[in-house]
Amino acid sequence: MSSEIERSVEVSDIFALDTDHKAQYEALAKLCNKYLPVNANGQVDTNEIIKIIDTVIALETGSMVVSRQFVSLITDRLDNPNLEPECIKLISEGILSIIKTRTISYEDQVCILRLMLASLYEKEGRIKDAAQALIAINSDTSPKFNGPQATKEGAKAALCIRITKLLLDCGEIDEAEQYVNRTSILMVEVAPNPEIVIEHKALQARVCDAKRRFVESAQRYYELSVTEQLPMSDRMTALGKAIVCVLLAKPGPQRSRLLTIIFKDERAPNCPSFEIIAKMYLTKVIHKDELEEFESQLQPHQKVDEHGESILKGVIQEHNITAVSQLHTNIKFKTLGMLLGVDEESAEAMSGEMIASERLHGYIDQTNGVLHFEDANPMRVWDNQILSTLEQVNKVSDMIVARHPDFATFLS
């Protein structure tokens, strides 16, 4: 008689000899002790254990009281640091496969098994499998997530945070964003927990960074950099990431405000990229050789956009055009192209786009290939106009005095 048939007969006899659930469970527990004792060490016969579980679930077609207790017994015994991880994984996967059509009857056990599998997959480097194991947990109905509202929502938030981390690590950015947004909703009901709040904010920053929403990401990182609960080393790391993101962000009022805040932060000079952010804040021209060290810090998604174009190059070129506008009233596109490291046509196209979107004030003289700058500050323009008028009046006065000296003597 094969072992599979033998196990099936043993389990059948247990159910046939006694109809009392308690007696059936105790008999099954004794059978389990042969293959998965309480203090099991090393390897166990995973095939025999899975066959027993399969037979128990197949034979009990009624209330499933005994099979649920038996699966719980196995699940509890798998939580054993002395047991071979491979055995835990094979048995857990086997149980989940057997009960996949009856998950609703084993929700607590499924939750525990999936949590164990996620940890094992993580250790093996199977990050995506670990995330999928956790995603399959139904936190809305699982008994593990029952309790007072704040505690229940806190457990759900912690699960979403763990899933988000795994999804980010395996590059599933869109799905990670869904879970970080779900965590935001759960945080409303969560009892004040600084650790969860900090982790959530860090994940928001990472998601925004990965999605190339650099202004939002810089804002989140800067908030982390001033969080007193974090060690100073972590706060400085967050500040460094905020600097990177604000330098990559597209120009706008929000970015300008954040640039000012970071530049004036007394810790900023200790960050590697401070010289670049200082030039950005002071609207000074940034040269290519100054960017080499900064570029080496960038992650792959920070180097190019969705079209494969360099993000940093575009941002720095636009900044340099703005910086040039502070130094000159006009510039030839040939000269501007040399400064930006592009050809004359590209310099003209970039300038035209900036003028059209009102990021630069001026006009283009295509005939002569010249970019003319205009002052965007109306008060400064008014002041310059008054100054020009007064200079003209003064010039006319000097001309009158030069031709009619007697008139000047008479006025004095």
Helix (H, G, I), strand (E, B) or coil at 210: helix
Give the pLDDT confidence score for residue 218 in this predicted structure. 96
pLDDT in tens, 335-392: 888 877 788 888 888 888 888 877 777 878 888 888 887 766 656 556 666 776 887 7
Report d(CA 262, CA 267) in Å as an integer: 9
Per the listing, tokens 């706008």 go with 252
Report d(CA 278, CA 332) in Å as an integer: 27
Give the pLDDT confidence score for residue 1 in this predicted structure. 42
Helix (H, G, I), strand (E, B) or coil at 81: coil
Give the pLDDT confidence score for residue 62 in this predicted structure. 60
Give the pLDDT confidence score for residue 165 in this predicted structure. 96
Give me the tens of pLDDT residue by residue for the chain, a chain 412 residues long.
Answer: 455 555 567 777 777 776 778 888 888 888 888 888 887 788 888 888 899 888 888 886 666 888 889 999 999 989 888 889 999 999 999 999 998 888 888 888 999 999 999 999 999 999 999 999 999 998 877 767 665 655 677 788 889 999 999 999 999 999 999 999 999 888 877 656 788 889 999 999 999 999 999 999 999 999 999 999 999 999 999 999 999 999 999 888 899 899 999 999 999 999 888 889 888 888 888 888 888 778 888 999 998 888 888 888 888 888 888 888 877 788 888 888 887 778 888 888 888 888 887 777 787 888 888 888 776 665 655 666 677 688 778 877 877 777 777 766 655 5
Q: Residues 49-53: contacts with CB within 8 Å, 24+ apart?
A: 49/74, 49/91, 49/94, 50/90, 50/91, 50/94, 50/95, 50/98, 51/3, 51/4, 51/7, 51/8, 52/7, 52/11, 52/28, 53/94, 53/95, 53/98
What DSSP letter does each residue of 26-73 carry, written as one string? HHHHHHHHHHS-TT--B---HHHHHHHHHHHHHH--SS-HHHHHHHHH
Give the pLDDT confidence score for residue 150 in this predicted structure. 54
Q: Is 322 left (phi over 0), alpha (psi -120 to 50) or beta?
A: alpha
Give the pLDDT confidence score for residue 206 in this predicted structure. 96
DSSP letter at 271 equals: S
Give the pLDDT confidence score for residue 90 in this predicted structure. 94
Give the pLDDT confidence score for residue 157 in this predicted structure. 87
Helix (H, G, I), strand (E, B) or coil at 128: helix
Residue spans of alpha helices (H) in 328-411: 333-340, 344-356, 378-403, 405-411
pTM: 0.78
